[in-house]
Structure 1
Amino acid sequence: MQVLGWLPEKLVSVRGDPAGRALYLTFDDGPDSSWTPALLDLLRAHEACASFFLVGRNVERHPGLVQRMVDEGHRLGNHSHTHPQFNHLSLARQLEEIDVTDRLLAGFDGVRRHRFRPPRGVVSLPLTLHFAARRRNLTYWSYNSMDYLKSPPEELIARMRAMPPVAGEVILMHDDGGCAIQMLETLLGEWTDAGFSFRALPQARQLDERPAHGAPARSAG
Structure 2
Amino acid sequence: MANSSDVSPSVGEPTREYPPVPEEQAPAAPEQPSRPSGFARLLIFVGFVFALIVAACLGLRAINVLPSFDNPFSDRTTDRSQPVLLQSMRDLSRYVAADGTFQVIVDLQEDKENIPDFLVNRRTLFVGSGTVEQYVDFSKLADEALVVDNEKKTVTITLPPPQQGGAALDMQKSYVVAEERGLLNRIGDAFKSDPGKQQKVYALAQQRITEAAQASGLSDRAKQNTEQMLRSLFTRLGYTTVTVTFDSP
More strand by share: 2
Tell me the TM-score normalized by structure 2. Answer: 0.19
Task: Give the structure, 1 or 2, with the largest relative contact order (CA under 8 Å, sep 6 or more).
Answer: 1
Q: Which has the larger radius of gyration?
A: 2
- Which one has the bigger helix percentage? 1
